[in-house]
Structure formats: structure tokens, C-alpha cells
């Protein structure tokens, strides 16, 4: 799978307003009411990511969740990252 160009990434992010591109990955930061809520979303994301065979890098402290997506094998952002970002957005909305 070929990585997206910066123009393709910018275009894809037009439909993902909570995501930004930096350091060869797309990123979002989410805040929840509690740790339990954050962990619940992480679990739901994990099940979807497993189905897609595409897994996020993430960092969780209490009610805050930071997620980064990049396709390591391709060396950049691919359609897999955009697709998973859309799934994540649908789960948290």
C-alpha cells in the first residue's frame, strides 16, 4: 500500500476535523467524563481495529486518550489510517 501525499492527507482530513497531521501520523486527543468512559471507548476501538487488522498507537491517562495513526509498513498515512480514524470518530460521537 502506497502512503498518501501531503495533499491527499490534507484532503482526507477535511472530513476528519478532530484529527491533525504531524510527524508522519494523524492524531487526535479525546477527553471523557471518567477513566471508565475512556477505557470503554478504548475497548470498542480495539475490537474495531482488530477487525480491520490496523491498530492505533495510543496513550491514556485517567480520562484523556491520545491516538496516533500511521501505517508503519508503508512509511506514512494510508487509506487504512483514514478508515480507522472515521471508525473512531463514529464510536466517540
User: Coil, strand, or helix at residue 65?
Assistant: strand
Q: Which CATH superfamily is domain 6-92 in?
A: Transcriptional coactivator/pterin dehydratase (3.30.1360.20)
The dihedral sign for the CA sequence 26, 48, 12, 74: positive
30-81: pLDDT as tens digits: 999 999 999 999 999 999 999 999 999 999 999 999 999 999 999 999 999 9
User: Model-level pTM?
Assistant: 0.94
Q: Which residue has the higher pLDDT, 34 or 93?
A: 34
Residue range 10-31: average pLDDT?
Answer: 97
- For residue 1, pLDDT over 90 is answered with no
Amino acid at each position: 500500500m502506497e502512503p498518501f501525499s501531503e495533499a491527499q492527507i490534507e484532503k482526507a482530513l477535511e472530513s476528519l476535523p478532530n484529527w491533525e497531521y504531524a510527524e508522519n501520523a494523524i492524531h487526535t486527543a479525546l477527553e471523557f467524563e471518567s477513566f471508565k468512559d475512556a477505557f470503554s471507548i478504548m475497548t470498542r476501538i480495539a475490537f474495531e481495529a482488530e477487525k480491520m487488522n490496523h491498530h492505533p498507537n495510543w496513550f491514556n491517562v485517567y480520562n484523556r486518550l491520545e491516538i496516533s495513526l500511521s501505517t508503519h509498513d508503508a512509511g506514512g498515512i494510508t487509506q487504512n489510517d483514514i478508515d480507522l480514524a472515521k471508525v473512531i470518530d463514529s464510536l466517540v460521537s
